[in-house]
């Protein structure tokens, strides 16, 4: 499938507002103890892992696996 000149690039350094919002929605749906503000302030996957471990007192390896699955190649 060819992209038109105005099509958003599916992968790359720039993320559309919709892509960011979809990722934030996915994070909040899985870990609802994270506030919108906390999700918006996340800097990377490691930061997300640290916040989840802090809030939920879960096993680090399990959280790392869950975060990798949820992100599925997306970056924060």
Contact 27, 63 (CB under 8 A): no
Number of domains in the chain: 1
pLDDT of residue 69: 97
Percent of the chain with pLDDT over 90: 78
The DSSP code for 18 is H
The DSSP code for 4 is P
The DSSP code for 34 is S
Domain that holds residue 36: 17-71
Rounded-to-integer distance, Cα 72 and Cα 75, Å: 9
Q: Is 6 left (phi over 0), alpha (psi -120 to 50) or beta?
A: alpha
Rounded-to-integer distance, Cα 31 and Cα 40, Å: 14
Residue 6 lies in a domain: no
pTM score, whole prediction: 0.78
């Amino acid at each position: 499938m060819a992209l038109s000149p105005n099509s958003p690039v599916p992968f790359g350094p720039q993320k559309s507002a919709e892509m960011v919002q979809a990722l934030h929605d996915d994070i909040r749906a899985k870990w609802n103890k994270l506030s919108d503000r906390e999700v918006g302030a996340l800097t990377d996957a490691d930061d997300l892992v640290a916040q989840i471990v802090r809030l939920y007192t879960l096993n680090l390896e399990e959280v790392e696996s869950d975060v990798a699955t949820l992100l599925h190649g997306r970056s924060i």
